[in-house]
Chains A and B, each alone.
Chain A
Amino acid sequence: MLELYGQQFSSRLLLGTALYPSPAVMADAVRAAKTEIVTVSLRRESAGGKTGGQFWSLIQSLGVRVLPNTAGCHSVKEAVTTAQMAREVFATNWIKLEVIGNHDTLQPDVFGLVEAARILSEDGFEVFPYTTDDLVVAERLLEAGCRLLMPWCAPIGSARGPQNVDALRSLRGHFPEVPLIVDAGIGRPSHAAAVMELGYDAVLLNTAVARAGDPVAMAGAFGQAIAAGREAFRAGPLEPRDMAVPSTPIIGMAAFS
């Protein structure tokens, strides 16, 4: 079972709710993925809050836990205020903390991230920090009160898959007891399986499912890949070797000359 801030989950796939062709497709994708946690946001709305109300009703009907985000926040103040507003609306202490540092790469401002994580942790939040794969930043986030980490494996929405496997391995090796969730950059189920085989605890996705030709089918494919990757990690994958090693026994071969 996956344990996040004392809560247990069967599914190791966290799914975003944005960019789908329609709300109905999003709901079907959540069901097909068998995901138990979805990400949501808070935004200004002109229709008197009615569109937000409909969205919220749909999410509630899915019977999943919500992880509100601070997407788009570029300062500590913005992220902390957004988190506080999300706590009230969604009635959860969970927050996916994003403090964006660069418009082009959407990479985290890790300095602001650590500061916001400390403020929110001290205020009783259970912080899911969207961070880079930097080891020292990871240590600072844990010191700030985070009890799990969400490193990217490539820029948000880039679909490139793991760009620095050594860094991901290093994080896993240094923090064997800390839940590690790859958040951002996954493009295909094989990418998700690859990080799960490294021993990552879960994967958070959105674009790769929502923008697929058939989001519902892709959600199912990701669910299977993540489960397979986890099982493979537990089974102990073979390490690569430099030379060929025969699998069929040499002893007992016939001699014909």
Chain B
Amino acid sequence: MRLIINGESREVDAGTLAGLLTELDYEGGWLATALNGEVVPARERETCRIADGDRIEILSPMKGG
């Protein structure tokens, strides 16, 4: 299925948000995720189903002012 991940269209196989992170080689306890504009806490990623056309944001800590 095709998702919009961090603003870019990508073809992926995973059915859950946790599976998606693994498939895309994201790792670490410092990641933040959102599905279609709503925050998905880390503990809910295993059960969070994703579907064709979903917009996913995966953010990590960065320098800031």
Contacts and interface: CB of A to CB of B under 8 A. Distances in A.
A16 B63 CA distance: 8
A39 B64 CA distance: 6
B65 A206 contact: yes
A129 interface: no
Contacts of B33: 85
Contacts of B37: 77, 81
Interface in B21-65: 24-28, 30-34, 37-39, 41-42, 57-65
Q: How large is the interface on A (under 10, 10 to 19, 20 to 34, 35 or more residues)?
A: 35 or more
Contacts of B62: 40-43, 45, 52, 55
Nearest to A17: B63
A90 B61 contact: yes
Contacts of A56: 30, 60-61
Contacts of B32: 42, 85-86, 88-89
Contact of B64 (A18, A44, A89): A18
A205 B62 CA distance: 17
A43 B60 contact: yes
29 contacts: A19-B63, A20-B63, A40-B61, A41-B61, A42-B60, A42-B61, A43-B60, A44-B6, A44-B7, A45-B60, A46-B6, A48-B24, A49-B26, A49-B27, A49-B28, A49-B58, A53-B60, A55-B61, A59-B61, A69-B64, A81-B34, A81-B37, A81-B39, A84-B39, A85-B33, A85-B57, A88-B42, A90-B61, A207-B65
Nearest to A90: B61
B63 A53 contact: no
Contact of B59 (A18, A50, A51, A85): A85
Interface of B: 6-7, 24-28, 30-34, 37-39, 41-42, 57-65
A159 interface: no
A142 interface: no
Given A18-B63, A52-B31, A81-B39, 12 more contacts: A16-B65, A40-B61, A40-B62, A41-B63, A44-B58, A49-B31, A49-B60, A52-B62, A81-B34, A85-B57, A88-B41, A207-B65
Interface string A28-46: 0000000000011111111
A16 B64 contact: yes
Contact of B65 (A39, A43, A77): A39
A17 B39 contact: no
Given A42-B59, A44-B7, A71 B64 contact: yes
B63 A85 contact: no
